[in-house]
Amino acid sequence: MFNFFRVVSIVEGLSYLTILSVTLEIISREYIFNIGMFHGVLFMIYIVASLMVSDKKGWPILTWLALFIASIVPFAFIAVEIFLRKESKKSMTTENA
């Protein structure tokens, strides 16, 4: 589930940037419905996956709130990926110890 959340986090962040690209008229507006629908589904999956991973990892509510806020801020998915990569390394070292 953790790796699934990492993938969803990156794809959701990129879809958000794609929507902003439409706003900046980099991408044609005729695709906005499809892009918006795709992003909306990814956002819901992101929220559910973040709740499941937070519960499974035993993270405090503030960590989940930071993940939630990061889903709203453009480019914050990069910081989330760095955090998740550190958590992944941390859990690997505790499993090997």
pLDDT digits (tens, 9 = 90+) for 18-71: 988 888 888 888 888 988 899 999 999 999 999 999 999 899 999 999 999 999
Count of the separate structural domains present in the chain = 1
Q: Which two tokens stand for residue 35?
A: 């892009």
Single-letter residue type at 52: M
pLDDT at 3 over 90: no
Where is pLDDT greater, at 7 or 97? 7
Domain of 64, in residue numbers:
2-96
Q: Which of 70, 68, 76 is nearest to 50 (CA)?
A: 68
Is residue 35 within 8 Å of residue 19, measured between CB atoms? yes
In this prediction the pTM is 0.84
